Structure 1
């Protein structure tokens, strides 16, 4: 997030939500947004193929067709430029590349977008005006934007919209991706990506590599590694012989589960480190028992870049150990001695190598976390990014063109399947489905279908149906609701016995981020 969660509750005058079911997937942030709307009069724009809860509070709701994000955003930009609602001073002083984007979006009229996106042109115009006319307007998005074969372009389009209106670098504004799990931001910060060291220091840059080689006493590769999806493909092809999987359940969370299973079965050796015997751990040659958040010390970095202390509340059971201890012991047995004595000692190494964390210490975050970048111990942290200038100097506009999703409906598969989460279960259900009260409330998977779509197939609420794509089929209950667009169906991936990711498309990847297209697949449905 460029801004803080507090901004969404107290500062933002307009909040544009796109591709985020905020109250279900980020309940605390969803509550704060709701408070801003109800108590301070903030205006909401909601763009989502499903009528999420916050759509009921929105000034305008845009139920756009899955995969048409760029068409919608470019059309909003078209309106803002045409009606002279842009921030000319911000564009002139702080950005570059605007003219090329202006030329591109000229053809993205609201009328064209209405035909492609399936929303009224007048609503697109209304949304553009509300966003552009506000002094402080924030954009929030989540995986509904990124999990596409053009997810990177979707994000670029959002950034274009924010810069066009000067909604960067000031309170109540910004581009705010909402992280889906408690330490996703921290994992990325620590180099849990294939192309960077901690602090997003690129592996190809010799200066970065030399610094970490000196600190760690080893020679490091000079090229980036593989993403998770690429690693699974490489395992299937026999290029990767062994995998070490920590706290991840790709048998349910990755697209085209049959493809994943075949890849894991092709490995010579699989290690899984987790707190429960997940569907993935069940396939492992060795399972290393880790511990939950309540059984270990350390830090989490949340969605607003706030580094916070985590403290052990209970002792681990049996032979389970904190992840850092397991990794140290494995590395030592492999011939690379790692003798850290505590998470704090590890954090001190992080500070020494990661400029954005340099000023954060355990003592400073004893009671309240600090938002990076924090370059020294006198620095208070950074609630708002890009206040004076962007990291690269001037913000760069990127012209992005709309293109269709990789897999579109046809006669054989006439519907669009989109996937996500619900309020009651978390990710692959590894923890929540072991909680009896939660599982009793939401014990099985469902597929949401619009009444008119259901009528076409003779399906009634509660019927068992077969949902199919080119990857396979699952059986689940039908839930008839007007909260989903006609011609679109929605289901979740929490349930192993009816896993949505048996159906999603592993072959359609974003060319930059290599994220699969979870949010659009051609599908069909039939009553059983």
Structure 2
């Protein structure tokens, strides 16, 4: 299983904000304390240099809000309602970018129709902001160009997280801020390689480069890995038609494992290689089988490497699953506290991995730029680099040669083949990534180019990213898409003012040519400077390239060419598109309506555990999901089981600390960083604390709807209103009041331990990404 966090990619970059932004909206983010804290510097510089206005919308008065020109407090889980209120005023006053809507968008009329319902009165009722605040902000934001916005986990970690990200992008699209310097959507990724990990798709529902799980994709990767597709797919279980028919007659809760196996006679039948895996949010259901679970068998082993399980929700379920596993493997530089969460004493293996300073390779920063990182020292003691651990694993289980073969591949005269007998780490791994992840335009991000950028850091302008001298004409880190080794990278996505050779591009054509009788291609007026193809066009494939580009291919070129721009190892499609001055992925309209989703257009839906029972009937959550990521998930049945706010009247949101990241397992092993926040706590308004007789600095219990509780220190704070609390999620080592210190192996206990807030994180998951609802749950306080 793997992570499924639905952020989105940063369209611009921090230097661009510093140089060009005139208006900044920060919603669901707190860059003053959350990684990367350097983002706050750029915001403050934009205020100083451009007189840019900073507006913060957040349920909590944060350190970022303290620097804002305007702060608007809204109720957790009401971001969509707030933005629709802004759009209501934009359309009412004619502030929308009519030309962009006409030439580059689809279905904005339906957004306008939904926005009409969100009057200032209704927005104030649902979100808690005042009508005056809404009107003042909308007027300022809509009439200041260019305007940019930032979001982070406060937007994505909701049962409507996917819709939250969509409505913010739609706001920028309607105002014409997409593809503009100083505009765009700047999603703040937390750690130094969150974007890179996402690009590599450490996910349960897709492959590296955001490819799906269709057989055509598996064939593409098998070709790039140098393995035979027919042999490769035999490792996956399949279900035959007869078995599936039997399965359909079974009642819910049946163990399905007996119905799935590999059928030699029907290799193309329905199979698990085309199915999503378990998500990181609900992997435990593969062990516990409490909800309807679809799988070829029970999960028996959990391998944890590079992620903080204690930063996941539903800690009580995770603890139960850990106890039932056959084996738990933890590969970390510092002990991941998943190793001590359960009371099991056997079947746990801790393998010491080294730190970033003891390894080498590239990462992708929040703005899509790659950064080469050189090894400082060799791994100390018995620790190993991550790849060496995986190599040892592959050798032990007999697939090492297949595992590393992709690094020995290369393209010779337009044909991909094995070109060497051994590989050089990490250069050949980097080049393999560039070859295979064509879907994001990774082709030009080779190890040689990235090493050259590291050597020439001093030759790049930090505000434009443009290089000089040895790196003249290239943007720092070759931000993807970087279509080939001649391309400079793309610092700003969807910028139609620049030619292809300088990073210009329209919107990607991904969803067909026509929907409901409406063309999904951009207007004829949307043409990149110097492009030979005028107006909108489909993504380039082997089938349509001659017609769209007006060229004739040789028979040799046709034989070498892959089926489409994203699966063409020959490089011929990229070359022909370069010559025509166009992007291989097409030139389309940005769709505001996602017809495959449960909500084709974003809609406000009350949190699963809403504090406003009076609004649940009007804005209900989704229907229960029968199957997604191999499990069923409750929505409306959980929301309407009872009025949860009667027993749990206080809203609960998470917060971040500048000295701790993720589960805090690294920083809490530092006595200096631990001293800053030596114990777990929650910020509580003095009026709320007085209601329960809780003193400032005293201990209290926080109870959650699922029957869990944590014991933490109460810290009086006016940053939260009397109806809500906020608390960090960076602690572990104490579980529902029980000190787990005795379970730590010798010399591994951190300087600071505490309750994990995710023990009381409420039930709730996004229907698309299955991210947990960390930021809009309910709780009840009690004096300890």
Give the structure 1 partner of residue 489 of structure 2: 381
The equivalent residue for 2:507 is 390
Give the structure 1 partner of residue 649 of structure 2: 414
- Residue from 186, 189, 214 that aligns with 1:176: 186
Distance 2:377 2:288 in 1: 40
The answer to whether 1:269 aligns with 2:269 is: no
Q: Aligned match of 2:759 in 491, 502, 516?
A: 502
Residue 235 of structure 1: aligned partner: 287
Q: Does 1:359 align with 2:444?
A: yes
Residue 603 of structure 2 corresponds to residue 401 of structure 1: yes
- Give, in whole Å, the separation in 1 of the partners of 2:221 and 2:188: 30
Residues 109-160 of structure 1: CA deviation (Å, up to 9, x unaligned): 1111111111111111111112111121111100000000110011111111
SS at match of 1:71: helix
2:304 is matched with 245
Match among 354, 363, 375 for residue 300 of structure 1? 363
Q: Is the 8 A contact 1:191 1:198 kept in 2?
A: yes
Q: Which residue of 1 aligns with 2:426?
A: 343
The answer to whether the Cα contact below 8 Å between 2:431 and 2:445 also exists between their aligned partners in 1 is: no
Partner of 1:486: 722
Aligned-pair CA distance for 1:249: 2.4
Determine if the alignment matches structure 1 residue 448 to structure 2 residue 711.
no
**Match of residue 187, structure 1, among 180, 183, 197:** 197
Deviates most, 335-344 or 353-362: 335-344
8 A contact 2:302–2:327 mirrored in 1: yes
1:40 is displaced (CA, Å) by 2.4
Q: Structure 1, residues 448-505: CA drift from partner, whole Å, max 9, x if none? A: 1122222222233212111111231111111111111220100011121221011002
Question: Which residue number corresponds to residue 58 of structure 1?
Answer: 68
Structure 1 residue 208, shift from structure 2 partner:
1.9
Q: In 1, distance between residues paired with 2:31 and 2:18?
A: 13
User: What is the CA–CA distance in structure 1 between the aligned matches of 2:163 and 2:207, rounded to whole Å?
Assistant: 24
Aligned mate of 2:222, from 198, 202, 213: 213
Residues in 2 aligned to 1:53 and 1:253: alpha-carbon distance in whole angstroms: 22
Q: What SS does the corresponding residue of 1:22 show, helix, strand or coil?
A: coil
Structure 1 residue corresponding to 2:27, chosen from 18, 22, 38: 18
1:232 positional shift: 2.1
1:5 aligns with 2:29: no
How many Å apart are 1:350 and its aligned residue?
Answer: 1.0
Q: What's the CA shift for 1:263?
A: 1.2
Cα shift at 1:334? 1.1
State yes or no: 1:138 paired with 2:148.
Answer: yes
CA distance in 1, matches of 2:761, 2:142: 36
1:171-206 Cα shifts (integer Å, max 9, x gaps): 1111121111111111111121222222112122x3
Aligned equivalent of 2:395, options 309, 332, 335: 332
Q: Deviations over 1:350-390 (max 9, x none)?
A: 11111221111222222252211101111110001112321
- Displacement, 1:224? 2.8
- 1:411-465 Cα deviation digits (max 9, x unpaired): 2111001113111212111111111111112101111112222222223321211
Match of 2:479 in 1: 371
The answer to which of 252-261 and 223-232 deviates more is 223-232
Matched, 1:255 2:255: no
Higher relative contact order (CA 8 A, sep 6+): 1
TM-score by length of 1: 0.96
1:215-240 CA distance string (max 9 Å, x none): 33152423332211232221222721
SS at match of 1:490: strand
Q: Which residue of 2 aligns with 1:319?
A: 382
Bigger CA radius of gyration? 2
Question: Cα distance, 1:52 vs. partner?
Answer: 1.3
Question: Which segment is superposed worse, 86-95 or 383-392?
Answer: 383-392
- The answer to whether the 8 Å contact 1:448/1:479 transfers is yes
Query: Given that residues 20 and 50 in structure 2 are in contact (C-alpha distance below 8 angstroms), is that contact kept between their aligned partners in structure 1?
Result: no
Taking structure 2 as the reference length, the TM-score comes to: 0.65
Pick one of 692, 696, 703 that aligns with 1:468. Answer: 703
Partner Cα distance (1:60, 1:286) in 2: 51
More strand by share: 1
Query: Number of matched residues?
Result: 525
Larger CA deviation: 297-306 vs 261-270:
261-270
Query: Cα deviations across residues 378-408 of structure 1 (Å, max 9, x unaligned)?
Result: 1110001112321121111132221110012
CA shift, 1:319, in A, is 1.8
Counterpart of 1:425 in 2: which secondary structure? coil
Tell me if structure 1 keeps the 8 A contact 2:85–2:123.
yes
- Please say if 1:28 is aligned against 2:38: yes
**CA distance, structure 2, for counterparts of residue 322 and residue 281 of structure 1:** 20
1:515 aligned onto 2:578: no
Q: What corresponds to 2:274 in structure 1?
A: 222
Where does residue 79 of structure 1 map in the other structure?
89
**Kept after mapping to 2: 8 A contact 1:484/1:490:** yes
Structure 1 unpaired stretches of 5+: none
Aligned to 1:114: 124
| Structure 2 gap ranges (5+) | 1-9, 234-272, 290-296, 405-422, 458-476, 497-505, 510-587, 594-600, 612-644, 733-753
Match of 1:98 in 2: 108
Contact 1:236 1:264 in 2 (8 A): no
Distance 1:416 1:164 in 2: 32
Given that 1:34 and 1:54 are in contact with CA atoms closer than 8 Å, whether structure 2 keeps it comes out as no
- Structure 2 CA distance, aligned partners of 1:215 and 1:40? 47
Stretch deviating more after TM superposition (472-481 or 69-78): 472-481
Work out whether residues 37 and 57 of structure 1, in 8 Å CA contact, stay in contact via their aligned partners in 2.
Answer: no
Distance 1:333 1:89 in 2: 60
Cα-Cα RMSD:
1.5
Could you tell me how far apart the structure 2 residues matched to 1:4 and 1:135 are? 17
